[in-house]
Structure 1
Amino acid sequence: MSPPRIRNIAICVFHHQGKILVNAFPDPVKQQTLFRPLGGGIEFGERSADAIVREIREELNLPIRNVRLLGTLESLFTYLGNPGHEAVQVYDAEFIDPEVYEQNGLEGQESNGERFTAVWLDSTRLSHDGVLVPEGLHELLRSLSLLS
């Protein structure tokens, strides 16, 4: 077993008309659903903004533009009963194809081959259906008037 470490990740909210794009992660240990914007690990030698472009291309096969940093969060959490620690660069960006925003869900694929559907959710649905992670993200987006 490898020693615990801090994982550096970048996520992107893609805010649009009061909604953000998220992926659902069920946690049966906590008996709750976690919602997290798309993104992933920052590779050695890679800038976090470039990681967002790469991750979205890998996961959704879609080009993006106007990538901008919103803030940085530190996340200490437990998922599936295991402790985690992440330094999170939070970004916003735009999809080049405007039709992406009209779709209820976007089909994607994780690097391990697992399929997922990312969905557009507003603040009410996020709070009602689960928990937005990482901790502090909802407050950051509210302070920037990207979520109510």
Structure 2
Amino acid sequence: MKKDIIRPLVICVFQKDESILVAEGFDPVKGDHYYRPIGGGIEYGERSADALIREVREEIDADIYNLIYIGTVENIFTLNGELGHEIVQVYDASFTDPFFNDKDEFEGREDNGEAFKL
């Protein structure tokens, strides 16, 4: 997490029945688990929808369609003892492969190779 900047992010809620798809993380400083939808950083010159398609492909090797913009939220938080600040574009979308709709849990990977549970 870079200090003293506001990060532009994009996430997708992937609604299924009464639930949304989230990745599980852990903050060792707080000793708490946290949950957030799949997504990531928007690169300079990249549209948020394109960033979401790229991030989903990178994190869980899945293709998505039917992207629907929901809104924007501002998130100020503490993670690993450091202050973070994000402006987050939020979407809903559908997976092209029904595998992702049928599983209750599966694994994804961050850019650094670290695995996470969904």
TM-score category by the smaller chain? Answer: over 0.9
Contact 2:3/2:84 (<8 A) preserved:
no
How far is 1:3 from its partner?
5.1
Report the equivalent of 2:86: 86
Please give the per-residue CA displacement for 1:109-138, whole angstroms capped at 9, x wherever unaligned.
1001111121xxxxxxxxxxxxxxxxxxxx
Contact 2:25/2:116 (<8 A) preserved:
no
Contact 2:13/2:37 (<8 A) preserved:
yes
Task: Name the aligned partner's letter for residue 84 of structure 2.
Answer: G
* In structure 2, distance between residues paired with 1:20 and 1:48: 20
Report the equivalent of 1:5: 5
More helix by share: 1
Contact 2:10/2:90 (<8 A) preserved:
yes
Number of residues of Structure 1 aligned to a counterpart in Structure 2: 117
* In structure 2, distance between residues paired with 1:26 and 1:67: 28
List gaps (5 residues or longer) in structure 1. Answer: 119-148
What is the CA RMSD across the aligned residues, in angstroms?
1.2
Confirm whether residue 114 of structure 1 aligns to residue 118 of structure 2: no
* In structure 2, distance between residues paired with 1:91 and 1:117: 20
Please give the per-residue CA displacement for 1:19-48, whole angstroms capped at 9, x wherever unaligned.
111111112322321100010000011000
Report the equivalent of 1:22: 22
Report the equivalent of 2:31: 31
Between 1:22-31 and 1:6-15, the stretch displaced more is 22-31
Moved over 3 A (4+): none
Report the equivalent of 2:104: 104
* In structure 1, distance between residues paired with 2:73 and 2:10: 10
* In structure 1, distance between residues paired with 2:53 and 2:38: 11
Counting only pairs closer than 5 Å after superposition, residues 43-62 of structure 1 correspond to structure 2 as 43-62=43-62
Normalised TM-score (structure 2): 0.93
List gaps (5 residues or longer) in structure 2. Answer: none
SS of the residue 2:37 aligns to: strand
Cα distance change, pair 77–17 in 1 and its aligned pair in 2 (3 A): same
